[in-house]
C-alpha cells in the first residue's frame, strides 16, 4: 500500500469529507467551521459532511457544507452533523433470523467515499471513532483525525477539545455546591465524567477548591477521606466538598457501572460512585451528605473561549495536513504548538492522570485529600 505522501503526489485534493463520531462534545461545530472555512477560503475546495458518524458513511448520507452552512455555529454546542457511538462499520450489527450478527461492512464506507467524490476524510472523534479512522487509513482512505473528548484521555496530544469546557462546567458546579454545603454544614459530593481517566475531576477539583478528589488512578481509602473531612471539622470547617470521577474506585472495591449498552462498541457506562461515597462519608463523619451526578451537562452547550480556539486550530491544521498529504495522522497539541502523530501510535494507548505527576503533587501540597 502506498503511504500518504506518495498517494498525495499523484492526486489533487478537491473535495473533503467530514464526520463526527462518538459522544458529542463542546467544540465539534467549531472544528467543522474551521475545516470548511479553511478548505474553501484558503484552498478553494469543496466540503461535504456525512451525517450521524459512520452510519452516514454506510448509508451514503451526506450534505454539502458551505460557508453559509457553518455560519453562526462557532459558539453552538453539539454537532450540526449529528453523531453516533454505535456504528462501527468494521463490526456492524444486523438482525438475521431474530439474532444479532456482526459483519464487516467497511467496504461500503470506502465505496460511498468514492461515490461522493471525496478525496480526503477529516474524522473528528475519540478513541472508538479514531480506531475506525485508523482502520480506514489502513484500507487506503486518506484520513486525518481530530482528537475530541471531554475526557482528555487520548494519547499523543496534550489536550483534546471539549475538555476545558467540561472542566469549567464542573468547576461552576463545585462553586455552587460550596455555598449550599456551607449553609447546611453538609458534605457535598460531585460525580463528574471522564470514563477511566480522572482528568476532569483533578482539574475541576483544583479549580473549584475541593477538599478531596477521588480518581480511578489513585484508589481511595474512604477512612482517609473521612479523616481529612474530620480534620477540617476540628479546624472549625463543618462542611466539605468532594469531587469524584465516575471511574473512581476504593482500595477494596470496583468501578461502579450504571449501564451496559449491548449494541455499543464500548458497552460499559460508568456512574453511581458518587452516591456510594456520599453514603459512606455520612456514616463515617456524622455529617449529612448529598451527591450530585453532573452527567451530560458537561458535554452540552457552548464551548469555552479556550475550546473555541483549540477547535479552530485543530480544524484548520487538519486541512493543511491533508493538503500536504500527511494522511493517517491525528492533529495534536504539543506544548503550545500544533503538531501531529500517526493514528497507529495514538490508538490503544489511552492517557490517564499520573498519580506521581506535578498536578497531583501540587494538589496534595495545598491539602487536598486523594484518600491515599
Ligand atoms: O467519553 C465521553 C463520555 O461523556 C464519558 O465521560 C462518559 O463516561 C460517556 O461518554 C457517557 O456516554 P453516553 O453519552 O453514552 O452516556
**5: pLDDT strictly greater than 50:** no
Q: Are 78 and 40 contained in the same domain?
A: yes
Q: Are 141 and 71 contained in the same domain?
A: yes
Whether residue 343 lies inside any domain: the answer is no
Q: Are 15 and 132 contained in the same domain?
A: yes
Q: Are 135 and 168 contained in the same domain?
A: no
Residue 161's beta-bridge partner residues? Answer: 148
Structure confidence at residue 86 (pLDDT):
86
**251: pLDDT strictly greater than 70:** yes
Q: Are 172 and 216 contained in the same domain?
A: yes
Give the model confidence (pLDDT) of 170-187 as tens digits.
Answer: 999 999 999 999 999 999
* Minimum-distance ligand 1 atom for the alpha carbon of 195: 8
> What sign for the dihedral angle of Cα 227, 230, 235, 238?
positive
Q: Are 176 and 98 contained in the same domain?
A: no
**10: pLDDT strictly greater than 60:** no
Name the residue range of residue 121's domain. 4-161+303-335
Ligand 1 centroid to residue 197 C-alpha, Å: 12
Q: Are 193 and 250 contained in the same domain?
A: yes
CATH number at residue 41: 3.40.50.450
Structure confidence at residue 11 (pLDDT):
59
Q: Are 322 and 197 contained in the same domain?
A: no
Q: Are 178 and 70 contained in the same domain?
A: no
Residue 240's beta-bridge partner residues? Answer: 187
Average pLDDT, whole number, for the chain?
96
Candidate from 86, 193, 196, 352 with most ligand 1 atoms within 8 A of CB, to mutate: 193
Strands (E), 106-211: 120-125, 143-147, 187-192
**6: pLDDT strictly greater than 50:** no
CATH number at residue 262: 3.40.50.460
Pocket of ligand 1 (CB under 6 A): 23, 85, 126, 149-151, 193-195, 246, 269-270, 299
For 306, the grid coordinates are: 479556550
Which has the closest alpha carbon to 277: 338, 211, 341? 211
- How many structural domains does the chain have? 2
Q: Are 199 and 141 contained in the same domain?
A: no
Give the model confidence (pLDDT) of 291-317 as tens digits.
Answer: 999 999 999 999 999 999 999 999 999
Q: Are 120 and 266 contained in the same domain?
A: no
Q: Are 157 and 219 contained in the same domain?
A: no
Amino acid at each position: 500500500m502506498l503511504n500518504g505522501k506518495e498517494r498525495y503526489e499523484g492526486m489533487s485534493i478537491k473535495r473533503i469529507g467530514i464526520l463526527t463520531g462518538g459522544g458529542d462534545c463542546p467544540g465539534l461545530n467549531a472544528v467543522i467551521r474551521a475545516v470548511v472555512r479553511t478548505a474553501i477560503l484558503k484552498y478553494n475546495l469543496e466540503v461535504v459532511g456525512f451525517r450521524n458518524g459512520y452510519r452516514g458513511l454506510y448509508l451514503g448520507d451526506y450534505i454539502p457544507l458551505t460557508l453559509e452552512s457553518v455560519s453562526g455555529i462557532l459558539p453552538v454546542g453539539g454537532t450540526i452533523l449529528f453523531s453516533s457511538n454505535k456504528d462501527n462499520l468494521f463490526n456492524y450489527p444486523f438482525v438475521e433470523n431474530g439474532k444479532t450478527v456482526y459483519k464487516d461492512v467497511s467496504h461500503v464506507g470506502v465505496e460511498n467515499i468514492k461515490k461522493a467524490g471525496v478525496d480526503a476524510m477529516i474524522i473528528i472523534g475519540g478513541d472508538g471513532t479514531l480506531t475506525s479512522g485508523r482502520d480506514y487509513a489502513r484500507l487506503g482512505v486518506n484520513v486525518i483525525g481530530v482528537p475530541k473528548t471531554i475526557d482528555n484521555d487520548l494519547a499523543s496530544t496534550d489536550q483534546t477539545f471539549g475538555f476545558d469546557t467540561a472542566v469549567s462546567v464542573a468547576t461552576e458546579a463545585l462553586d455552587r455546591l460550596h455555598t449550599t454545603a456551607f449553609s447546611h454544614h453538609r458534605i457535598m459530593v460531585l460525580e463528574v465524567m471522564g470514563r477511566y481517566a480522572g482528568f476532569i475531576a483533578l482539574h475541576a477539583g483544583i479549580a473549584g477548591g475541593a477538599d478531596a478528589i477521588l480518581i480511578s488512578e489513585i484508589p481511595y481509602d474512604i477512612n482517609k477521606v473521612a479523616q481529612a473531612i474530620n480534620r477540617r471539622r476540628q479546624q472549625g470547617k463543618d462542611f466539605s466538598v468532594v469531587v469524584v470521577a465516575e471511574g473512581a474506585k476504593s482500595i477494596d472495591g470496583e468501578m461502579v457501572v450504571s449501564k451496559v449498552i449491548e449494541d455499543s462498541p464500548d458497552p460499559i457506562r460508568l456512574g453511581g460512585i458518587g452516591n456510594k461515597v456520599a453514603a459512606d462519608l455520612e456514616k463515617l463523619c456524622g455529617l449529612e451528605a448529598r451527591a450530585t451526578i453532573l452527567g451530560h451537562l458537561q458535554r452540552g452547550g457552548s464551548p469555552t473561549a479556550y475550546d473555541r480556539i483549540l477547535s479552530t486550530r485543530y480544524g484548520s491544521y487538519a486541512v493543511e495536513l491533508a493538503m500536504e498529504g500527511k494522511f493517517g495522522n491525528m492533529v495534536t497539541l504539543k506544548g503550545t504548538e500544533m503538531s501531529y502523530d500517526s493514528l497507529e501510535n495514538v490508538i490503544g494507548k489511552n492517557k490517564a492522570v499520573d498519580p506521581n505527576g506535578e498536578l497531583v503533587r501540587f494538589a496534595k501540597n495545598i491539602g487536598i485529600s486523594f484518600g491515599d
